Amino acid sequence: MQVVLLEPEIPPNTGNVARLCAATNSGLHLIEPFGFRFDDRRLRRAGMDYWQQVTWRTWRDWPTFYAAHRDRGTFWFIESVGVRHYAQIRFRSSDYLVFGRESAGLPEALLEEHRKRCLRIPMATGPARSLNLANSVAIVLYEALRQQNFPGER
């Protein structure tokens, strides 16, 4: 599985996602601009020593990243306006899970272009508008891995 964070803003979220990717042997793609610097101590602390154990790369922008990967697997865009919820589809190991900025989510133009592959995490009616980015990644990634019988589990 491949996890894509488009313009992440909060260092601890990105560090936690890196740790999650290391624990699940999932690739991590970080697309600029970032809301932090990579020498941020909060980023390092959240990722602990897992940064060396995850396959990750930064990309200067979405078009560059997408051009390099669009034929490698299915892209799923996780956003509150998704047409289906994440457990309604069948994930494959070659899939990409794309998440947007903590403050704004994925850009509307990107969602419009890929509307049929937009997924949502169901939420109850209430005061909370959204889930934490790292939690959202964990929810969807673990469902995808569950469907594949947790490959490489120890």
Q: What is the pLDDT of residue 46?
A: 67
Q: What is the pLDDT of residue 47?
A: 64
- pTM > 0.75: yes or no: yes
Q: What is the pLDDT of residue 41?
A: 77
Domains of the chain are 2-147 (3.40.1280.10)
Give the closest residue to 7 by CA, choosing from 77, 57, 61: 61
Give the closest residue to 20 by CA, choosing from 59, 57, 46, 42: 46
pLDDT tens across 78-134, in order?
998 899 999 999 999 999 999 999 999 999 999 999 999 999 999 887 787 788 999
Q: Is the pLDDT of residue 39 over 90?
A: no
Q: Is the pLDDT of residue 58 over 90?
A: yes
Continuous segment of H or E residues that includes residue 141: helix 133-147
Q: Is the Cβ–Cβ distance between 79 and 118 less than 8 Å?
A: yes
What's the average model confidence in pLDDT over 26-50? Answer: 83
d(Cα 116, Cα 3) in Å, to the nearest integer?
19
